[in-house]
Structures are given as structure tokens and as C-alpha cells.
A = this chain, B = another copy of it.
Amino acid sequence: MKNTSLAIGIDVGGTNTKYGIVNHRGDILEEGEMKTAEFPTIESFVDGLYDHLKSILDKYNKDCNIKGIGIGAPNGNHFTGCIENATNLHWKGIVPIAKLVGEKFKLPCVLNNDAKAAALGELNFGAAKGMKDFIMITLGTGVGSGIVVNGGLLYGDKGNAGELGHTIIRPGGRLHWSTGLKGTLESYCSATGIAITAVEMKKDSKEDTLLKNYDDKDITSKVVYECATKGDALAKKVYEFTGQILGEALSNFVMFSSPEAIILFGGVIQAGDLLMAPTKKAMEEHLLITFKGQVQLLFSELRFADAAILGASSLVWG
């Protein structure tokens, strides 16, 4: 008798693809990863995935009911099951990944974009448990988002709702490196944006700063974080600037969907209160009085390493 239901979660990233088998409580029973870029075609990638997962499937198939496979991927469209023109994957154009994986594994397969998968992970297993309206903002190399309204993910007319990283917050401002848009949230508040800000501030500053020990090309958001934790004033200013912009953008999002909480996720949140304090201050300052003090600003409760797999597996439970 197969009493236990399990789901496979697969997170496709530009560098690594992580996979795991997860139960209803969010326990990852087994996990692993492979290099995405080692597979020149999507077909070879699906074959590689099958080879990696086969022993796990064989092991659990005997006693458990494997319900399906959830895939989180950049530009993953839930409606079409295709990865559509992802700029940070090497498979170009429209990639019907859900169909190919479903056929290979002979299991139902559901695709979503990585930020929406993370939001579902948070809803099922994290800080958003029991919430009906919240916004997940993923602050990594880029800025993504998953918006939950009325207890479910917001897709919009064509499945593309929640591209909050590309909303304008500094009109006419910094040119984005790949979209060509100016002054968008991602240009400033992604890890990439933070590094750009640090380089700009270093150049303009006459202050003594630890950032001057680094060549521009070696300044990453991680370097900024390390300098700030050592008390470097300029590095702290980078976070104040970032938090100011993020907070203003969040206030706009609050006035759109009136969420119970905004949950921040991704590598950038390792900065902790360096980022949270100025973000919260700016958000509250820019809210209409109705919303002031009403919206929780939280960090994700998912362990960073697990979140991608948990999020992807959540797609199976819905």
C-alpha cells in the first residue's frame, strides 16, 4: 500500500540544476544537483536529469506514490509549460520543458518561473503559511517576484504577472544591462545592482573605504556585505541607498495588492538588518496612511539551499 505521497522538485538555474524528492511536510528526503550548461540541448538535459533521478525514483516508487514533478525555471510559463526566451539559460527561444520531462519520466509535470515557485514554497512551508495575500521578492543576481492573491498565485492574462523587478522606480535612471529599460528595481536592488552602486559610490567618494582595496571588477554584493559588517561607512551607505529604493518600490506594490506581508528572499538578504532597516523605513514613509504599519516585511523562512527544491516541489501540490 502506497500511503506516502511524494513530489519531485527541480530548480533549473543558469549554473546549477538542483533536484530533490519531497514529502507533504516539506522534508527533502534526497537531493542532488547537476551542471545546467553541460547539456547543450534541452533533450540531452532531460536525459541527464533522468539518469540522475533514476535511482531515487526506483527507491521510492516501491512504497510511495510519486505524484508528479514540479520545475521552477527562469522565464518558465505555467500556462504553456515552456521556458520562454530566458536570457540566462543557454537554450534559446521556446523550450517545451514540461512536456519533455513529463514524457521521459511518465509523470505529470508542472512548470513555473523560479520566483513563483519560491512563493509557493513559502506559502506551503515557510513564513507565508496560512496567508492569502503576500508578495515574495527574490533578490539574487536579478530581482524576481511571486505574487499571491486570494490564496493563489497571480498569473494575469498571459501568465506573466509579477515582473516586479522590471518596474520603474527611478525614471530615466540607471540603464539595465540586458532589458534596455532605465531606472528599474532590478538595476538597483539585485546583487548586480548593489555591486554597480558600490563601484559608483567608491568612484564619487573622497572617504576612506575598504572598497578601495578592490578593483572595480572584483566588487560583488558579497564584498560590499563583508566591508559593511567590518563597519565600513561607504559600504553601509550602499545598503542605505539600496534599501531606500527597495522600500519605495515595495510601497508601490503594497498600494497595488494590499498584501498581509512582503517576504524577501535570495542571496542579497544575507545582509540582514543592513538592508531591512532602511527598506522598512522607506516603505513606511511612502505608504498612504491606510497602509502604514499594516504590512509585515519579513525575510524568508526557507533555508536558502532548500528553497529552490521546496518551491519547485510545491508546484505539484498546487
Contact = CB atoms under 8 A, between A and B. Distances in A.
B286 A160 contact: no
Contacts of A256: 147, 161-164, 167, 253, 256-257
A160 B290 contact: yes
Interface residues of A, number: 44
Instruction: Count the copies.
Output: 2
Interface stretch (A38-46, A90-98, A151-159, A211-219): A151-159
Contacts of A114: none
Interface stretch (A168-176, A220-228, A297-305): A168-176
A258 interface: yes
B133 A258 contact: no
Interface string A140-155: 0000000101101011
A210 interface: no
Given A132-B157, A291-B160, A170 B167 contact: no
Contact of A288 (B155, B179, B260, B289): B179
Contact of A157 (B133, B169, B286): B133
Nearest to A135: B256
Interface string A166-206: 11111100000001010000000000000000000000000
B294 A179 contact: no
Interface string A258-286: 11100000000000000000000000001
A218 B283 CA distance: 37
A255 interface: yes
A255 to B, nearest CB: 4
Q: What 5 A-B pairs have minimum CB-CB distances, sorted nearest first?
A: A156-B258, A161-B258, A157-B260, A167-B252, A163-B255
Interface of A: 84-85, 132-133, 147, 149-150, 152, 154-164, 166-171, 179, 181, 248, 251-253, 255-260, 286, 288-291, 294-295
Given A156-B257, A167-B255, A168-B286, 7 more contacts: A133-B157, A150-B152, A157-B295, A162-B258, A179-B289, A181-B286, A253-B256
